[in-house]
Amino acid sequence: MRTNRRIRNIIGVYGLIWLLSIATFWAFCRDPQMAMLHVIVVQYILLPIVTLLLSILIGKEHPSKKYIWLVPICFTAAYLFSRLLTQSLLQQILAGVAAFPGIFDFLVIIAISSVGMLFGWGLGKMRGKVE
């Protein structure tokens, strides 16, 4: 029961960071340099680091093996949706043509989350949480 609550809290933290990243993009989008800085800092540094850290925490909680494969996919979907709601949407509004995230973005976030989950699982096992 405590594990489910911790995982829900982790999901809530990621959701809050995700929403703030989108809101701040639209606050800075009128200045092209600030918008580009936001994209670099948030989408290429902050969100992948947060994905890694939260994947480690989820891995330490040892969620059900039935649903473990959903974690990297959900992190990837959220990351790609963030890209669509910020960069792609702004490009569509301004130029009429949007640049959509590619397969590389998908694979990188899947890899980051998977590595984080494995690392968290190993940490949890070292602490004796797994029988």
pLDDT cut 70: percent of the chain above it: 96
Averaged pLDDT, 6-28: 92
pLDDT at 30: 87
Enumerate the domain spans of the chain: 2-126
pTM of structure: 0.87
Residues 6+ apart with CB under 8 A from 9: none
CA distances in angstroms from 1 to 5, 7, 8, 109, 125, listed in the order given: 7, 10, 11, 28, 19
The more confidently predicted of residues 129 and 12 is 12
Please, which pLDDT band fits residue 44 given cuts at 50, 70 and 90?
very high
**47-74 residue pLDDT tens:** 999 999 999 999 888 777 888 889 999 9
pLDDT at 1: 57
